[in-house]
Amino acid sequence: MELKDFGKKNIFMPDATRGAVRFLTTQQLKDTGTEAIVTNTLHLMIAPGAEKMKELGGIKKLMNWDGIVLTDSGGFQVFSLIHSKKWEGKIDENGATFKSPREGNIYTLTPETSIDIQMCIGSDILVTLDDCRKSDLDESEARESVDRTVAWARRCKDHFEKVYGGTKETGKLLSCVVQGAKYPELRKECAKALVEIGFDGYNFGGFVVDEDGELVLDEMRAVIENTPVDKFKYAMGVGKPDDIRRASKIGYRVFDTVLVTRNARHGTLYSSDIEDEVLRIGNSEYSSDQRPIDSNCDCYTCKNHSRAYVHHMLKAGEATGMTLATIHNLAYYQKLVQGLS
pLDDT digits (tens, 9 = 90+) for 258-309: 999 999 999 999 999 999 999 999 999 999 999 999 999 999 999 999 999 9
- Please tell me whether residues 98 and 119 are part of one structural domain: yes
- Please tell me whether residues 114 and 211 are part of one structural domain: yes
Does residue 24 form part of some domain?
A: no
Does residue 5 form part of some domain?
A: no
- Please tell me whether residues 129 and 56 are part of one structural domain: yes
Q: Which of 133-147, 210-224, 239-253, 299-313 has the lowest mean pLDDT?
A: 133-147
Q: Are 312 and 289 in contact (CB under 8 A)?
A: no
Does residue 329 form part of some domain?
A: yes
- Please tell me whether residues 160 and 214 are part of one structural domain: yes
Q: Is the pLDDT of residue 341 over 90?
A: no
- Please tell me whether residues 187 and 319 are part of one structural domain: no
Query: According to the model, what pLDDT value does residue 83 have?
Result: 67
Does residue 76 form part of some domain?
A: yes
- Please tell me whether residues 245 and 285 are part of one structural domain: no
Task: Examine the residue annotation and report whether 212 is marked as an active-site residue of this protein.
Answer: no
Region 213-226: what's the mean pLDDT? 97
In terms of pLDDT, which residue wins out, 294 or 105? 294
Please give the Cα distance from 238 to 216 (Å, whole number): 11
- Please tell me whether residues 52 and 192 are part of one structural domain: yes
Q: Are 154 and 197 in contact (CB under 8 A)?
A: yes
Query: According to the model, what pLDDT value does residue 105 have?
Result: 87
The mean pLDDT of the chain is: 95
DSSP 8-state class, residue 1? -
Length of the chain as a residue count: 341
Q: Are 174 and 166 in contact (CB under 8 A)?
A: yes
pTM above 0.85, yes or no: yes
For the segment 174-209, what is each residue's pLDDT rounded down to a tens digit? 999 999 999 999 999 999 999 999 999 999 999 899
Q: Are 208 and 237 in contact (CB under 8 A)?
A: yes
Instruction: Single out the catalytic residue among 15, 124, 200, 256.
Output: 256
Query: According to the model, what pLDDT value does residue 34 have?
Result: 98
Q: Is the pLDDT of residue 114 over 90?
A: yes
Does residue 31 form part of some domain?
A: no
Does residue 35 form part of some domain?
A: no
Q: Are 270 and 307 in contact (CB under 8 A)?
A: no
Does residue 34 form part of some domain?
A: no
DSSP 8-state class, residue 182? T
Q: Is the pLDDT of residue 90 over 90?
A: no
Please give the Cα distance from 318 to 321 (Å, whole number): 6
Last residue of a domain, one of 257, 273, 299: 257
3-state helix, strand, coil in the chain (%, to 5): 45, 15, 40
Query: According to the model, what pLDDT value does residue 82 have?
Result: 74
- Please tell me whether residues 304 and 198 are part of one structural domain: no
Q: What residue numbers bound the domain in which 287 lies?
A: 265-338
Last residue of a domain, one of 230, 257, 284: 257
- Please tell me whether residues 121 and 211 are part of one structural domain: yes
Query: According to the model, what pLDDT value does residue 99 have?
Result: 82
Q: Is the pLDDT of residue 173 over 80?
A: yes
Instruction: Single out the catalytic residue among 15, 72, 116, 200.
Output: 72
For the segment 51-76, what is each residue's pLDDT rounded down to a tens digit? 999 999 999 999 999 999 999 987 77
Q: Are 152 and 131 in contact (CB under 8 A)?
A: yes
CATH code (residue 91): 3.20.20.105
- Please tell me whether residues 253 and 322 are part of one structural domain: no
3-state secondary structure of 269: strand
Region 15-42: what's the mean pLDDT? 96
Query: According to the model, what pLDDT value does residue 211 have?
Result: 87
What's the total number of domains in the chain?
Answer: 2
3-state secondary structure of 106: strand
- Please tell me whether residues 214 and 279 are part of one structural domain: no
Last residue of a domain, one of 189, 224, 257: 257
Task: Examine the residue annotation and report whether 66 is marked as an active-site residue of this protein.
Answer: no
Q: Is the pLDDT of residue 140 over 90?
A: yes
Q: Is the pLDDT of residue 218 over 80?
A: yes
Q: Is the pLDDT of residue 147 over 70?
A: yes
125-127/106-109 β-pairing: unpaired
- Please tell me whether residues 139 and 232 are part of one structural domain: yes
Burial tier of 258 (Cβ tally within 10 Å: 0-12, 13-18, 19+): middle
For the segment 300-334, what is each residue's pLDDT rounded down to a tens digit? 999 999 999 999 999 999 999 999 999 999 999 99
Q: Is the peptide bond before 48 cis (omega within 30 degrees of 0)?
A: yes
Does residue 9 form part of some domain?
A: no
